[in-house]
Amino acid sequence: MDTIELKRATISDKEVLVDIDFRLDEIEHVEQRRAEKIVQAIVNGQCFIIEADEKEVGFMLFDYRFFDQGWIELIIIDEEHRGKGIATKAMELICKESKTNKVFTSTNKSNTKMQKALAKAGFSFAGEIIGLDDGDPELFYFRARKDDC
């Protein structure tokens, strides 16, 4: 992948984004009412399409609800495009766009691939919360905004 870009999603992008999420994990998509979450994020201007070489390969939900700091709530990359550094680059791009000096996110302890992507994108471990998902603690990370972010 040569060019990774973030573009603010519009309601006309809904079908593509919902489909990407649905194909990755149908059960989680339905149980967590992700279609509704994606639509609400689009309406609020908080959903970003991730494009690789001008092809839609994923999306990110980003807002400022986490203690008024930048917060990556969700980042989804289509299965066939994973492991190519796309998520890492997308996180770097959102950090540049953030209005705050820090951007936070979290992932489950079991999600070692995301933990590696966060490390590559310059995120530091911030703490752990037990009890959100039984037997799989939530790990929180942050990245301080730098001039060369």
Indicate the pTM of the whole model: 0.90
For domain 4-144, the CATH superfamily is Gcn5-related N-acetyltransferase (GNAT) (3.40.630.30)
Number of residues that make up the chain: 149
Read off the pLDDT of residues 94-146 as tens digits, 9 standing for 90 and up: 999 999 999 999 999 999 999 999 999 999 999 999 998 889 999 999 999 76
Cβ–Cβ under 8 Å, residues 29 and 35: yes
Cβ–Cβ under 8 Å, residues 104 and 72: yes
> Residue 148: what pLDDT?
47
